[in-house]
A and B are shown apart, each in its own frame.
Chain A
Amino acid sequence: MLIKSPADIKSSEITDKSLYLNRRQFMLNASLTAGAVATGLVVPEIGIQSGVAHAGTKLEGISKSPLSTDEKRTPVKDITTYNNFYEFGTDKYSPAKMAKSLVTRPWTVVVDGEVKGEKVYDIDDLMKLAPLEERIYRLRCVEAWSMVIPWVGFPLNALIRQVEPTSKAKFVELTTLHEPDQMPGQNRGVLDWPYVEGLRMDEAVHPLAILAVGLYGESMPNQNGAPIRLVVPWKYGFKSVKSIVSIRFVEKQPKSAWMKANPREYGFYSNVNPEVSHPRWSQVRERRIGEFRKRKTLLFNGYADQVAGLYKGMNLAAYY
């Protein structure tokens, strides 16, 4: 039988040393606070911001990466309160409030399909599969806004190397947890649940593609796709599937949730491309969160030097 180690103690649950040393004052403070809360004077702070779910465990041994951008990082408050995560509601402000119901321990990720070494990873083992790196990436949403996010994670290719895909493996299909009890948004048929995304094999092994387990040096907030998510910075944000439970190597191109919902608007590749407009949004410019004027969107979200070679000879307007 597998014996699970208890979930890490949240830093918020550890008694502050000065309080511990001065319990009498602590009790007084506590009763004052309780009184204030009861009378509505003070709103209790949970996580970074009141009422916002945040995992908030510090991740150790993170190294820097030459693949990081030195652009100004988007404030953590914006990254954790403005989310497209339809499993927790279609409003961008609701995942921060609703995602508290997501249980991220125990958590397993099944890796199977066209691989020699099918495996079920426990999340805590998976997080030790490769050294954690900080990757500060631009994130470009298909809705024409963008952020700069300091992810923590490791290259997807580290996992791929370990499980040894067979020659039949041409694509990787990644799937989000399907658990309507924890993900209330799945009770409504907004998308064909569970959320599925995919990459071509050469995209998946590209050094820029990572499995992220945290941001800003701490474990992944639920609303950002805890405990583990994909990040492919040269593609629109919806390709970067969250809260992954399955990674399957397949021969045929997977059908993503958005392709099923609206094939005319969402293609398999979904590379950031200012020349190829979405029927609802021109993709020429984007609003960087925190900035007033829009800025020009760059081909492959500014990662053309690294990834353009993957699409040599492909008509990017046809393969959108």
Chain B
Amino acid sequence: MLTTVKVAVFLVSLYPLIRLGWLATTDGLGANPIEFITRSTGTWTLIFLTLTLGITPLRRIFSYPNLMKFRRMLGLFAFFYVSLHFVTYIWLDQFFDIIAILKDIVKRPFITVGFLSFVLLVPLALTSTSGMIRRLGGRCWQWLHRLIYVAALGGVVHYLWLVKADLQEPLIYTAVLALLLGYRIAVAAGRLRSRLLSSKKAISAKGA
């Protein structure tokens, strides 16, 4: 059953790529196909990042631990689409003009933050295998993979800084991300408080 669902999620996650392929072969990418592909892969990266970050809260709220089994796949799809996004930029858009690309990365804040967020996701993709989790140890692995918070924030800022005037869409992603990160902060704060309380109890118990 789980395998079937996994296969289904995998196929659905390929939809953005299949759609682009379909549009490309049916003259559906509009007047500026490269811009269309860049926008589309960027949008889907943000969607998969938020889906990945949504797993933990949803799993806890609905107490459905099996959701965890989809997190790696969704995270890797986020990396897949961000890689397509990056390749579209360096190949189709800039045509490997390294000087122009470096200038862009240094001079255009939205590209700087977008590039850094992409770079942050590389080690996460590389250490996503079960073998790497074992080698790094759960704790260390978990700390490393918290980089996704930074990368997702960077991705949203990248989008906010890109638009000229209409912030509506980037603000929707910002709100969703704020919710997902806010949940984690609340959980962490709750844990810290209970730990403090229990240590206080322990101290007062000793004193008695």
A86 touches B30 (CB 8 A): no
Q: B residues within 8 A CB of A280?
A: 108, 110, 161-162, 164
Q: Assign chain B's interface to a size class.
A: 20 to 34
A191–B165 alpha-carbon span in the complex (Å): 7
B-facing residues in A63-92 (Cβ within 8 Å):
77-78, 81-82, 86, 90, 92
A78–B92 alpha-carbon span in the complex (Å): 19
Cβ-based interface call for A145 (8 A)? yes
Contact of B31 among A81, A190, A282, A292 (CB under 8 A): A81
B165 touches A190 (CB 8 A): yes
B95 touches A294 (CB 8 A): yes
Cβ-based interface call for B16 (8 A)? no
A282 touches B166 (CB 8 A): no
Asked, given contacts A277-B107, A282-B100, A284-B100, whether A145 binds B166 with beta carbons under 8 Å apart, the answer is: no
B34 touches A279 (CB 8 A): no
Look across to chain B and name the residue whose beta carbon is closest to the beta carbon of A79.
B31
Cβ-based interface call for A128 (8 A)? no
B103 touches A282 (CB 8 A): yes
Contact of B30 among A81, A262, A285, A292 (CB under 8 A): A81
Asked, given contacts A81-B30, A82-B31, A82-B32, whether A282 binds B104 with beta carbons under 8 Å apart, the answer is: yes
Cβ-based interface call for A269 (8 A)? no
A-facing residues in B12-61 (Cβ within 8 Å):
30-32, 34-35
Interface SS of B by simple majority: helix
Interface SS of A by simple majority: loop
Distance from B111 Cβ to chain A, minimum over Cβ atoms (Å): 9
B35 touches A90 (CB 8 A): no
Contact of A86 among B32, B35, B104, B165 (CB under 8 A): B165
Cβ-based interface call for A93 (8 A)? yes
Distance from A202 Cβ to chain B, minimum over Cβ atoms (Å): 29
A86 touches B166 (CB 8 A): yes
A82–B36 alpha-carbon span in the complex (Å): 11
A149–B161 alpha-carbon span in the complex (Å): 30
A293 touches B110 (CB 8 A): no
Cβ-based interface call for B138 (8 A)? no
Q: A residues within 8 A CB of B108?
A: 279-282
B34 touches A287 (CB 8 A): yes
Q: A residues within 8 A CB of B30?
A: 81-82, 92-93
Distance from A206 Cβ to chain B, minimum over Cβ atoms (Å): 27
Cβ-based interface call for B65 (8 A)? no
Distance from A313 Cβ to chain B, minimum over Cβ atoms (Å): 28
Cβ-based interface call for B182 (8 A)? no
A279 touches B109 (CB 8 A): yes
B-facing residues in A270-294 (Cβ within 8 Å):
277, 279-282, 284-285, 287, 289-290, 292-294
B-facing residues in A244-299 (Cβ within 8 Å):
261-262, 277, 279-282, 284-285, 287, 289-290, 292-294
Q: A residues within 8 A CB of B95?
A: 293-294
Q: B residues within 8 A CB of A93?
A: 30
A289–B30 alpha-carbon span in the complex (Å): 10
Q: B residues within 8 A CB of A191?
A: 165
A294–B103 alpha-carbon span in the complex (Å): 16
Q: B residues within 8 A CB of A261?
A: 165
A145 touches B100 (CB 8 A): no
B165 touches A90 (CB 8 A): yes
A60–B195 alpha-carbon span in the complex (Å): 83
A287 touches B107 (CB 8 A): no
A292–B88 alpha-carbon span in the complex (Å): 12
Q: A residues within 8 A CB of B31?
A: 77-78, 81-82, 92, 289-290
Distance from A47 Cβ to chain B, minimum over Cβ atoms (Å): 16
Most A Cβ at <10 Å: residue of B95, B103, B166:
B166
Shortest beta-carbon contacts, A-B, top 6: A82-B31, A90-B166, A78-B31, A190-B166, A190-B165, A289-B31
* 18 A-B pairs in the complex with CB atoms less than 8 angstroms apart: A77-B31, A81-B30, A82-B32, A86-B166, A90-B163, A90-B166, A145-B32, A190-B165, A261-B165, A277-B107, A280-B108, A280-B164, A287-B32, A289-B31, A289-B32, A292-B34, A293-B95, A294-B95
- A residues touching B (Cβ–Cβ < 8 Å)? 77-78, 81-82, 86, 90, 92-93, 145, 188, 190-191, 261-262, 277, 279-282, 284-285, 287, 289-290, 292-294
18 A-B pairs besides A145-B32, A289-B32 with CB distance below 8 A are: A77-B31, A78-B31, A82-B30, A90-B163, A90-B164, A90-B166, A93-B30, A262-B165, A280-B108, A280-B161, A281-B108, A282-B108, A284-B100, A287-B32, A289-B31, A290-B31, A292-B34, A294-B94
